[in-house]
Amino acid sequence: MYPYDDYDKQNNTPRDNYTTRGSYQWNNPQQQVQWDGNTYRSYGSQPGSYNSSSPEPEPPKGPKKRTGTRILCGVLACLMISAGSIGGFVALVNNGYVTLNGGAASSSASSSQAPASSSILTTPTTTTKAGSLTVQEIAKKVIPSVVCIQNYQVSQSLSLQRRSGSDESAVAPASEGSGIIISSDGYIVTNAHVVSGADSLKVILSDGKSHEAKLIGSDTVTDLAVVKIQATGLTAAELGSSSSLQVADTVMAIGNPGGLEFNSSVTIGYVSALNREITNSENGYTMKCIQTDAAINPGNSGGALVNSAGQVIGINSSKIVAEGYEGLGFAIPVDDAKPIIEDLKQYGYVKDRAMLGISGQFVDTMISRFYGLPVGYYVSSVVNPSVNAAGIEAGDVITKIDGKEINSSTVLTTAIAAKKPGETVALSVTRPKTGKTFTATVTLAQSTGS
């Protein structure tokens, strides 16, 4: 049960209209109910008008008992009446027919419905966090802040269409994703892969209005990007804190699975795990993400993961899509995203992030045996002049960084992520063509996120 689900599945009929198979009515405040130890009886304008299906106990037969025995029976009867009355009273409270206010009981027969905040699905052990909203309130609050982002790329077919003079509005975007409005003047955060390779970007608001968007900055390392549209008075999302999350907290994912066709879709799930290490398959960078089983599909990327207070606590980014896997979605924690977003807004890139300045791929044991290369990082190109100056060239394999063997795809990126631009690293290098090995000292460059 989701803690902010207030739907009553037990009875679709208002309780004050409920009647028994007899003539007794719950909504008749003049009728009183008394438990005689075996059956309910009602007393009012028509005494005895209601009897339960259980037969009324017959009076005892036989010789009269002694006075002491009668007294004992009377005491026991009182105890039975007290216990029965308590049991009946508890039943009425649990079913909402009697409400307790400040320790005093009051009849709710005059109310047409139970309070909106009550739910028979709530168990005694369930607690609600302060400031929690209903699912309807959360959706109403956040949906206006989540947009659809369309990525248009110039292709041969588009060029031919332009030359033929056909309607460009019929051109489909190369991809679609989601974004979150973070300021009323048009700044929107999304995933870097949503805007990757775009020649033009279009943002469609939840009300259907569309705007051309400008890319402000993109960071492929953390898979975050910021775009801007020329608009004011937008509904900005409230950013919360991911540090307060706990496993099994209920969360809501809002986005556009499948693109604009299913815009503003809402799914609900739980926080399955925290600080789940997810490695970017393109750059080898590892991030600690929020794992959730809220349904996330292509098009949800860049959308909001929201807590029970309607605050964005994560930016949906990926999921595991493989046979045998289900409900494994991941979101970038908003606490980690905030400084990245600020840098992208101000500089267009993440300031003070170091990079080695090479591209290539990790050589694992299988590739090593097949191609006769050492295990490490194969250099395919160099963009940092310091790397060239240190004698490293395309085709070399870096086997160690600062004395640590590069035996996985994350070792190199993790070591560099711990340093600042201008700092140096010591690299052990092998040149397979000649068998030469050497050590090179390289000064790290400033990363621009591209």
> What are the C-alpha distances in Å from 443 to residues 175, 306, 384, 419?
38, 41, 9, 11
Among 108, 175, 178, 193, the active-site one is 193
Active site residue 211: no
**Measured between alpha carbons, how far is 164 from 2 in angstroms, rounded to an integer?**
55
Question: Is the separation of the CB atoms in 350 and 340 below 8 Å?
Answer: yes
All residues at 6 or more sequence positions from 185 whose CB lies less than 8 Å from its CB, including other chains: 231, 232, 234
Residue 215: both structure tokens together: 């890319």
Q: What is the DSSP string of 100-145?
A: EETTEEEE-TT-SS--TT--TT--TT----TT---HHHHHHHHGGG
Nearest to 412, CA basis, from 342, 357, 349: 357
Active site residue 301: yes
Among 265, 301, 317, 409, the active-site one is 301
> What are the C-alpha distances in Å from 363 to residues 272, 358, 435?
33, 15, 16
Q: Which helix (H) or strand (E) holds 346?
A: helix 334-347
All residues at 6 or more sequence positions from 434 whose CB lies less than 8 Å from its CB, including other chains: none
Longest dimension (CA), the chain: 118
Nearest to 281, CA basis, from 350, 356, 362, 340: 362
Question: Is the separation of the CB atoms in 221 and 232 below 8 Å?
Answer: no
* Cα torsion 4, 5, 7, 10: sign: negative
All residues at 6 or more sequence positions from 305 whose CB lies less than 8 Å from its CB, including other chains: 251, 252, 253, 290, 292, 294, 312, 313, 314, 315, 316, 331
Among 175, 211, 219, 223, the active-site one is 223
| Dihedral over alpha carbons 397, 399, 402, 406 (to 10 degrees) | 120
Residue 432: both structure tokens together: 């397979």
Question: Is the separation of the CB atoms in 143 and 307 below 8 Å?
Answer: no
Active site residue 335: no
Catalytic machinery residues:
193, 223, 301
